[in-house]
């Protein structure tokens, strides 16, 4: 696929990472433990038996990583902050050494004219709060709002955007629904209650950050997908309708409509969350942007065993179907169903079994993946969806949660023994693609 898709000059081009996946420095300079420190050190929880103690050692190597971003010509860097690094217990005393790290990172980005897009929470709850019930404890939502306000107070005039949560669906469903992620609970009722506390915490944090008066745009990042029935059977169609309701609408409706979707609420039945007065009013407030993470569609089959999609474009190394048309369909559906703020595609990318060959890392499958998804999002943009930017996931190979270091999402290869960074073919392609997007910039440079 060689088609070149031209975007407006104002379009933001970025790369993304998350704190626990790249920082390392697990106990450096007063950082407290997070639930992922605990989870990854629990035997049997991570497939390859690894942990995030060192990861990509970004805590010490951030200048090199920012220099790589600059060499690629990206406009923006989306990263998360480790809550336990700046507030070791998740409440109480702040850790100034932790704040100093993010201050240094922001200065490094500012020196390269790369805009910072911060995510407050990418799954690494301070263990101190987990010991008091974690997200199942309503109080955690209020502690989160205090943390959010402090970030906005310190950094809100130095960053482009602040997102409250990254993929709260994963926090609730993988952390509390099937125990795949930290803290490792498998309880449907708890997962649904946790999802509500996450929605509440988002609203509380938005209000708290607004009061600080920073210039950053405020929003949230949600992982989303279309849900397609495997066949025309009534059962498959019903399964697809419920899947979309319990995943996409479950988080979108409280934020944009001030209520939970009726279908999911009905099916959840006795497992529906306890919602106090004003909770949904708190959640339902204006946001400045919506971050959308897209990797695959849901393919819904009620057969035993479930029918599988054709996967005409293949699968990623995670086993996920490559289905770029789903991104267009998703964005158009969201556009039709909600009054949306500007959208950023905050994550999109693929795991690939990359290896170094003669000093290079060929990953042409990833280049094809990104091209197809950029065309898909532009198709939605041309049909009226206000999409302001694209963040490729991920800058670096990193700790891929319960898969450990076995899955490589980066456009830069990381040798975890030596910490050597090697830009893959996809990184070089992205660099050249961005030059093509900015003919006036490259002409000026020449």
> What residues are labeled active site?
167, 347
- d(Cα 24, Cα 65) in Å, to the nearest integer? 14
Tell me the residue length of the chain.
446
Residue with the two structure tokens 């001030």? 258
DSSP 316-357: -TTS-B--THHHHHHHHHHHHHS----EEEEE---------B
CB 193 within 8 A of CB 274: yes
Query: Is 401 marked as binding a ligand?
Result: yes
Per the DSSP assignment, residues forming a β-bridge with 227 are 298
- d(Cα 51, Cα 353) in Å, to the nearest integer? 20
Query: Is 393 marked as binding a ligand?
Result: yes
| Ramachandran region, residue 260 (left: φ > 0; alpha: ψ -120 to 50; beta: rest) | beta
Tokens in use for 368?
Answer: 């094809």
Query: Is 225 marked as binding a ligand?
Result: no
Query: Is 21 marked as binding a ligand?
Result: yes
Strands 217-223 and 76-80: unpaired
Residue with the two structure tokens 């997102």? 163
Listed residue (294, 293, 220) closest to 254, CA to CA: 220
Query: Is 166 marked as binding a ligand?
Result: yes
DSSP 105-170: HHHHHHHTT-EEEEEEESS--BHHHHTTTGGGSTHHHHHHHHHHHHHHHHHTTT-SEEEEEE-HHH
Binding residues for substrate: 21, 122, 166, 295, 393, 400-401
Binding residues: 21, 122, 166, 295, 393, 400-401
């Amino acid at each position: 696929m060689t088609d070149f898709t031209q975007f407006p000059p104002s379009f933001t081009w970025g790369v993304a990472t998350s704190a626990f996946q790249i920082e390392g420095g697990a106990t450096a300079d007063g950082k407290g433990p997070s639930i992922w420190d605990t989870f990854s050190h629990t035997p049997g929880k991570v497939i390859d038996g690894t942990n995030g103690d060192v990861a990509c050692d970004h805590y010490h190597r951030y200048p090199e990583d920012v220099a790589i971003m600059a060499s690629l010509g990206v406009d923006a860097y989306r990263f998360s902050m480790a809550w336990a690094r700046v507030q070791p217990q998740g409440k109480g005393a702040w850790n100034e050494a932790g704040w100093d790290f993010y201050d240094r990172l922001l200065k490094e980005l500012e020196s390269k004219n790369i805009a910072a897009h911060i995510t407050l929470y990418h799954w690494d709850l301070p263990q101190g709060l987990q010991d008091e019930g974690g997200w199942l404890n309503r109080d955690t939502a209020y502690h989160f709002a205090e943390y959010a306000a402090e970030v906005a107070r310190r950094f809100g005039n130095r960053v482009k955007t602040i997102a409250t949560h990254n993929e709260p669906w994963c926090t609730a469903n993988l952390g509390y629904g099937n125990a795949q992620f930290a803290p490792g609970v498998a309880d449907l009722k708890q997962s649904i209650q946790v999802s509500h506390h996450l929605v509440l915490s988002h609203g509380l944090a938005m209000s708290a950050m607004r009061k600080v008066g920073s210039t950053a745009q405020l929003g949230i990042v949600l992982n989303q997908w279309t849900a397609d029935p495997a066949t025309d059977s009534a059962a498959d169609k019903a399964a697809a309708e419920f899947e979309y309701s319990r995943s996409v609408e479950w988080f979108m409706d409280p934020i944009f409509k001030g209520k939970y979707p009726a279908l999911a609420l009905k099916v959840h039945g006795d497992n529906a969350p306890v919602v106090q007065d004003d909770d949904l009013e708190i959640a339902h407030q204006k946001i400045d942007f919506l971050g959308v993470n897209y990797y695959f569609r849901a393919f819904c089959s009620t057969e035993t065993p479930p029918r599988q999609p054709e996967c005409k474009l293949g699968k990623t190394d995670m086993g996920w179907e490559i289905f770029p048309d789903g991104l267009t369909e998703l964005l158009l559906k969201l556009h039709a169903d909600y009054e949306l703020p500007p959208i950023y595609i905050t994550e999109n990318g693929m795991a690939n079994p990359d290896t170094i060959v003669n000093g290079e890392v060929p990953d042409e499958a990833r280049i094809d993946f990104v091209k197809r998804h950029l065309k898909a999002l532009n198709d939605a943009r041309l049909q009226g969806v206000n999409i302001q930017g694209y963040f490729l996931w991920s800058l670096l190979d990193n700790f891929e949660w319960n898969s450990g270091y076995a899955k490589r999402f980066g456009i830069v290869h990381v040798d975890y023994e030596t910490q050597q960074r090697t830009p893959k073919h996809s990184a070089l392609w992205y660099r050249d693609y961005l030059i093509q997007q900015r003919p006036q910039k490259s002409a000026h440079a020449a």
